[in-house]
Amino acid sequence: MKNELKSKVWFITGASRGFGRVWTEAALQRGDKVAATARNPASLAPLKEQFGENVLLIELDVTNPTQAAQAVRQAYDYFGRLDIVLNNAGYSLVGTIEEAHSDEVKAMYETNVFGPLAVIQAALPILREQGGGHILGTSSNLGHVTLPVIGYYCSTKWAFEAIHESLAAEVQAFGIRVTIIEPGAYATEFASQDSLRFAAGMDMYAGVKEQFFQSLQTLPKGDPLATPQALFKVVDAESPPLRFHLGSENLPWVRAAYAERLAVWEEWDAVSVSAQSLNGRQS
């Protein structure tokens, strides 16, 4: 890894709370510059008072593609370049697969998937023109595994992961790097009313949901303030990873999940191979 001494310019969505706020403040404290976006930029006013011209506060609802494009351009025009584009805004829909209404699922996809896409598509021409940059997206360990009751949220992260993996291959030739940040459970505001939406409940799932919420209480939760230095190592690396687990609990869980999947695929491999051609042999 190689640390670059010059300050970096960040564009961060969802900067008003949670990881977005922690990473915005940490980047500014280390001397970087940040275009900090939020639906209510007034909540970021103390940062302007403290860091002055090094921070630009921008109103942005990521579900508005026009506003997203304007925000990216405003940040570029103000700072003269964009080094890091970090999509962090998102929320979770709480409800079983049967309970959640399609409109609720679509609304979450607008924020968690199509919002980041709007920002990325607006930023790519700028990053190509300036000869490079680093696109980061806040996913989750739930981009690899799932939990009941928040299955639709998990699905947004699986989509998020696939989009960024394809993107990384597509833009590598332009000097643009892509990293998916995959936090485990952290003591952020993500479980607050601002970050959760609840589908109308059905009595038959009450037990499943009670068990789910009880299990959440026992999850080890990381300290958000412990994350910035790890994130800086990623953005300062000469060859940053495509995927980066944040926290200590992810890898054991993901390793076990993939081991189980591989075991099942291996068990059924003969049947899978038999479906390749009518004579039962691979072509």
Q: What's the DSSP call for residue 222? A: B
d(CA 254, CA 200): 31
Q: What is the pLDDT of residue 218?
A: 84
Q: Known catalytic residues?
A: 139, 153, 157
Q: Where are the domains of the chain?
A: 9-248, 250-283
Measure the N-to-C terminal CA separation of the chain; round to a whole number of Å. Answer: 44
SS3 of 32, please?
coil
The DSSP annotation for 131-144 comes to T-EEEEEE--GGGT
Q: What is the pLDDT of residue 59?
A: 98
The DSSP annotation for 149-198 comes to T-HHHHHHHHHHHHHHHHHHHHHGGGTEEEEEEEE-SBSSGGGSTTTEEE
Smallest CA-to-CA distance from 151 within 88, 219, 214, 199 is with 199
d(CA 239, CA 242): 9
SS3 of 115, please?
helix
One-letter amino acid for residue 77 of the chain? D
Give every residue of the chain whose pLDDT is below 50, as ranges.
Answer: 1-4
pLDDT in tens, 12-35: 999 999 999 999 999 999 999 999
Torsion angle defined by CA atoms of residues 169, 62, 136 and 184, in that order, rounded to the nearest 10 degrees: -120
pTM: 0.93
How many C-beta atoms lie closer than 10 Å to residue 56's C-beta? 22
Q: How far is CA 12 from CA 24, 111, 250, 259, in A?
A: 7, 14, 24, 35
CATH H superfamily, domain 9-248: NAD(P)-binding Rossmann-like Domain (3.40.50.720)
In the structure encoding, which two tokens stand for residue 204, read together?
Answer: 């038959």
